[in-house]
Amino acid sequence: MITISLADIFTKFPDRRYIMFGGKGGLGKTTFSAATAYYLAKKGYRTLVFSVDPQASLSDIFQRNIFGQGAVEIMPNLYAQEIDADRRIKEYQNEIRQKILDMYGMEKVPDEIESYIQAAAAEPAMEESAIFDAVVDIVIKGEFDYYIYDLVPLGHALYYLSMATVYDAWIGKITHLREEMREYDKVAALMKRQQDLDEDAILNELTFIKQRINASSSILTDRQKTAFFFVVVPEEMIILDTQKAADLFARFQVPLAGYIVNRVVPPQLKSQEIPAYLRNRIAMQEESMGRIKQAFGDSVLAYVPEMERDVTGLPMIERMAALMFGNGA
């Protein structure tokens, strides 16, 4: 049924060190991210699984509060991180305040400028910038063998994933913020009757940011280094949506590595005494499996069964890894 397995992909393409699971909401992205991280860590690779989602659930699956604490060691070689975007924004605001104070030798940021700074922080763009900044930091440090991105549901993930485009947009936003900063500069300069603005400092910083972005986006759009997996379940509507999304992703040059089918009700149950509703569900899933084969064919890398309970805690994660990668896990 499977031509090439999920485990094969990791052995065949050892340079693909940036791993992502995409898919609609609630299909198993976080579960697969955690289980893959577990599998790789057990194989001896230093692995970081991290989330850019403000509603991240890595804390739930690892049953530990890791939010905003940097890379937390879960077990040898396995680290998990949830990015605290709000804190990044606050740090960013403080940086701006400090710069204004330093540049103009002020004791306190004028109220008018303070209200600009507050308003800018309320922009959704600020949160995205803060998150990207954090991701760039993580990836550029290069402290891990594998980086597993626990992604947000599809629509949003597309935004994160069309990395080249996104980073471009990000530069735009940053540049825009810098322009606004220049506005604060002007206000401040007027107040101090000082016309010469410190353009150099701003330019230097922009150049620095650009270098960072180039370094990281070249990694993330690199087919040799990145593997993106789609999570799908045997349900008509989800299959259709996934197909559409896959087309869209292809247009954004996202390096698609294959599909993983989750929540397959074990068909062996059919030979047992089971209620009619379960029998119907299995029949429905069998039909959908046919559609999955038609739509994704040899690109299906694993079929993962529906388990008897949700996947939280290391023993369940270990079982999930074995289901995904085979019992060698």
Where does this chain bind ligand ATP (CB under 6 A)? 23, 25-31, 57, 153, 262-263, 304, 306-307, 310-311
Signed CA dihedral, 30, 34, 35, 37: sign only? positive
Of these partners, ligand ATP, Mg ion, none, which one is at the site of residue 326 (CB under 5 to 8 Å by kind)?
Answer: none
Please report how close the Cβ of residue 32 comes to Mg ion at its closest, in angstroms. 9
- Least CB distance from residue 212 to ligand ATP, whole Å? 27
The item of Mg ion, ligand ATP, none sharing an interface with residue 306, based on CB under 5 to 8 Å by kind, is ligand ATP
**Residue 177 Cβ vs ligand ATP, minimum distance, rounded to whole Å:** 29
How far, in Å, CA of 13 to CA of 59, rounded? Answer: 30
The residue whose Cβ lies closest to Mg ion is: 30
Tell me the C-alpha to C-alpha distance, in Å, between residue 119 and each of 89, 91, 93, 206. 12, 15, 11, 22
| H-assigned helices in the chain | 6-12, 29-42, 58-61, 85-104, 111-121, 124-141, 154-161, 163-191, 199-220, 236-251, 276-296, 314-325
Contacts of 314 (CB under 8 A, 6+ apart): 38, 62, 74, 75
Q: What are phi and psi of 209, to 5 degrees?
A: -60, -45
| Closer by beta carbon to Mg ion, 23 or else 213 | 23
Could you tell which of Mg ion, ligand ATP, none binds residue 262, using a CB distance below 5 to 8 A set by kind? ligand ATP
Taking the least distance from each CB to ligand ATP, the nearer of 48 and 154 is 154
Minimum CB distance to Mg ion, residue 26 (Å): 8
Half-sphere exposure at residue 320, Cβ-oriented, CA atoms within 13 angstroms: 28
For ligand ATP, which is the closer residue by CB, 54 or 153?
153
CA distance 99 to 92: 11
Is residue 79 a contact partner of residue 48, using CB atoms and an 8 Å limit? yes
Burial 5-32 (b: 16+ CB within 10 A, else e): bbbebbeeeeebbbbbbbbbeebbbbbb
Q: In this chain, which of 17, 29, 88, 263 binds Mg ion, going by CB under 5 A? A: 29
- Residue 102 region by backbone torsions, left for phi larger than 0, else alpha for psi between -120 and 50, else beta: alpha
Interface with Mg ion in residues 143-182 (CB under 5 A) = none
Closest contact distance (angstroms) between CB of 84 and Mg ion is 17
153 vs 326, which CB is nearer to ligand ATP? 153
Residue 30 touches Mg ion, criterion: CB under 5 A: yes
User: Smaller CB distance to ligand ATP: residue 48 or 113?
Assistant: 48
Q: Are 177 and 77 in contact (CB under 8 A)?
A: no
Q: How far is the CB of 59 from ligand ATP (least distance, A)?
A: 12
User: Is residue 24 near Mg ion by the rule CB under 5 A?
Assistant: no
**What is the x/- site pattern for Mg ion, positions 79-118, by CB under 5 A?**
----------------------------------------
Interface ranges with Mg ion (CB under 5 A)? 29-30
